[in-house]
């Protein structure tokens, strides 16, 4: 048999150096890809850390919007609402238990919490009052510059009519202040805060007018209520 007629596949021997070079190239490529992915991961993590407070605040306000829509259909019991005025210490020390209570929380200009946002004040206020207050009208009193700072931090969401109250000098240390009333509903059964931004307190109105406006707002919700106002 003629061996020259035997078929043999073409074999191209690969040099050992080429094999080593190819392996090295693959390893270097994987190393570069790993470094790039790691750098991008760190960038993404840094961005997430940087913007997480913004996302968290957005989600909080979005949730407030959902709660506000719930408030539009909320049924309020017919009851006497008591308004308590004074500083935060006086309000916190209130031991009265009612189905629904209204409190106006005043923060004086020399108080360190004036530098905090209203959101922080609400949370701290409810820490002390959630058990005995359901409806709370919080009045934040700050210097004008602090109020502007709050509006910037909150994206201008709470631009509110202002008034200067000269009838209660014990609550005000100078005239350059802003009084921003807000009505909050706290639901004891679900332990959730239902938020309502009144936006109805006009310029230069007194506590009596505020009481009447709260009563009018509640009547719009279909409930005839009497407000027992205490200064």
- The tens digit of pLDDT for each residue in 113-142 reads 333 444 444 444 444 444 443 444 443 333
Q: How far, in Å, CA of 203 to CA of 179, rounded?
A: 10
Give the pLDDT confidence of 180-228 residue by residue, as tens digits: 344 444 444 444 444 333 333 333 334 455 445 555 544 544 444 343 3
For the full predicted model, state whether its pTM sits above 0.75: no
Please report the pLDDT score of residue 132 as a whole number: 41
C-alpha distances in angstroms, 84 versus 2, 13, 134, 160, 186? Answer: 116, 95, 13, 22, 16
Q: Is the pLDDT of residue 23 over 70?
A: yes
Which of 35-49, 99-113, 138-152 has the least mean pLDDT?
99-113
Please report the pLDDT score of residue 50 as a whole number: 62
Please report the pLDDT score of residue 75 as a whole number: 44
Please report the pLDDT score of residue 204 as a whole number: 35
Q: How far, in Å, CA of 171 to CA of 168, rounded?
A: 6
Q: What one-character-per-residue DSSP string does 50-69 give?
A: HHHHHHHHHHHHHHHHHHHH
Please report the pLDDT score of residue 13 as a whole number: 64
Phi and psi torsions of 93, nearest 5°:
-80, -5
**Across 28-44, average pLDDT:** 85
Q: What one-character-per-residue DSSP string does 14-39 give?
A: PPHHHHHHHHHHHHHHHHHHHHHHHH
Give the pLDDT confidence of 59-79 residue by residue, as tens digits: 554 554 444 444 444 444 444
pLDDT classification of 41: cutoffs 50, 70, 90: confident
């Amino acid at each position: 048999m003629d061996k020259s007629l035997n078929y043999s596949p073409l074999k191209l021997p690969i040099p050992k150096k080429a094999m080593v070079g190819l392996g090295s190239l693959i390893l270097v490529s994987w190393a570069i890809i790993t470094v790039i992915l790691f750098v991008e991961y760190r960038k993404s993590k840094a961005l997430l850390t940087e913007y997480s407070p913004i996302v968290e605040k957005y989600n909080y306000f979005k949730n407030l919007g959902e709660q506000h829509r719930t408030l539009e259909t909320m049924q309020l019991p017919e009851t006497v609402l008591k308004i308590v005025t004074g500083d935060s210490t006086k309000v916190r020390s209130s031991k009265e238990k009612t189905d629904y209570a209204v409190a106006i929380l005043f923060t004086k200009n020399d108080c360190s919490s004036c530098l905090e946002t209203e959101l922080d004040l609400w949370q701290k206020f409810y820490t002390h009052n959630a058990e005995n207050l359901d409806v709370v009208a919080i009045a934040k009193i700050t210097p004008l510059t602090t109020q502007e700072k709050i509006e910037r931090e909150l994206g201008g969401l709470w631009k509110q009519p202002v008034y200067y109250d000269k009838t209660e000098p014990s609550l005000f240390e100078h005239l350059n202040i802003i009084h921003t009333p807000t009505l909050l509903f706290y639901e004891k059964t679900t332990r959730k805060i239902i938020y309502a931004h009144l936006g109805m307190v006009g310029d230069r109105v007194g506590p009596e007018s505020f009481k009447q406006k709260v009563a009018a707002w509640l009547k719009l919700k279909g409930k005839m209520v009497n407000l027992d106002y205490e200064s």
